[in-house]
Chains A and B, each alone.
Chain A
């Protein structure tokens, strides 16, 4: 029982990491009906930026928000330079562009930083603390706290600020929003900036566990897809709940299903993706879709 509780806490922490990246995917999907395959690579690059800042002597807790700001600006820049010119292209074109972008960023990171995995500092100790009989590591609790704060901040921004309102309006009803004076195109850019910033949180949180190298996010993005699809790809709340469910499931499957072990965890995520798409295509929180094209 105690062991189970510990695994669940640990799964929630992993889930928080997935949830951040899943939320990034949802933000862009909502804004333009596009799955951004470069999201993981953007997060990886941001994590290299964080490491560079920390290596230059910056305090972790200063480097963290500074990285988010840089990632935000980078996301906006990518949208303006790469996406904007092809904004009205068919969705397949856009998907292929994000795939190209993923390859490009991956290669760029390899070229600049090399492929040798690097240790990434964690501000949380791996020591454990006893909560109601279960042992939880400070590391896990810290990741849960950071992810929770970031996700809550995004929620507040989207639901309780004017700019969040105009972002949602632009995402769902671009034509009607224009008639209300909303700069729809800028809202798209803002969506990319925000997605880039949230996504980078997952990179920074997972780097101490996986070690930082250009391919670090390639499995995480699969888990994030699973989370986003499970939550209903249009729902920010769904992404978060989906992230936690995937995190806990994958963790428990790895520990308790002997044939899964550590190696087949990714297969569990893929099974979730396929299972949801077949059985409940709108996910847990998605609306039955009558989508604009």
Chain B
């Protein structure tokens, strides 16, 4: 049984329906890519999972339906969602942002170890601990968002375009750490990306959304190898 399963999920904003029956699954410990053009409904899919939009169909996490659950309770089940725009609390310091990641945990010793790891991955965050998060650059904010998600000790991370607006070198570094977190801690990842080439390198499975429907799905290597799919859906 997969860790996360979406079954015929329909969702939208008020009268506008955006998802017209999306089904997908993320196996335990795997990275799954969710690709598609701008406006296809990738962000809306992630928002459905954490209860940010109203949806019908079914979404199950670790065998348990998330129907009618509030965002904060979904998150407490072990899902860390780094939203579009990163969700940095710019009124607070870097340290306070990190603390909000770990504030629900009771395993104090493990939390301290995880902080050490976070600062090892992203030394710049240690240097900026006391500063307002608003002073960070885009890349640093993405690092903070990822670090904070890691400190939540989730079973699943939802990452919404972590590469958006960042220089290639920084994107490399960030994806490297996503991979590390995935392999070392067996954290599953549902990765939304515009950069399909990059995402397919990381993931085991992939789904391509087209106007609110899954147009293609398969293993990442299948999709990478299929020229027709590449040309019509992935744009490279």
Binding site for B on A (CB under 8 A): 162, 165-166, 168-169, 172-173, 175-184
Contact A179 B81, beta carbon cutoff 8 Å: yes
Contact B103 A180, beta carbon cutoff 8 Å: yes
Instruction: Given A165-B99, A165-B103, decide whether A176 and B89 contact each other with a Cβ distance below 8 A.
Output: yes
Neighbouring B residues of A176 by C-beta, 8 Å: 83, 87-89
Instruction: Return the CB mask of B84-107 against A: 1 if under 8 Å, else 0.
Output: 000111111000100111011000
Contact A175 B104, beta carbon cutoff 8 Å: no
Contact B76 A165, beta carbon cutoff 8 Å: no
Cα A178 to Cα B50 in complex, Å, equals 9
Residues of B within 8 Å of A, CB-based: how many?
A: 23
Neighbouring A residues of B146 by C-beta, 8 Å: none
Cα A180 to Cα B101 in complex, Å, equals 6
**Interface residue? B75 (CB, 8 A):** yes
Neighbouring B residues of A169 by C-beta, 8 Å: 89, 92, 96, 100
Cα A203 to Cα B92 in complex, Å, equals 32
Contact A173 B104, beta carbon cutoff 8 Å: no
Neighbouring B residues of A162 by C-beta, 8 Å: 99, 103
Contact A178 B71, beta carbon cutoff 8 Å: yes
Neighbouring B residues of A177 by C-beta, 8 Å: 89, 100
Contact A181 B91, beta carbon cutoff 8 Å: no
CB distance from A232 to the nearest CB of B (A): 14
Neighbouring A residues of B83 by C-beta, 8 Å: 175-176, 179
Cα A162 to Cα B95 in complex, Å, equals 12
Cα A135 to Cα B52 in complex, Å, equals 61
Interface residue ranges of B94-133 to A (CB < 8 Å): 96, 99-101, 103-104
**Interface residue? B10 (CB, 8 A):** no
| Identity of the chain A residue whose Cβ is nearest the Cβ of B151 in the assembled complex | A180
**Interface residue? B148 (CB, 8 A):** yes
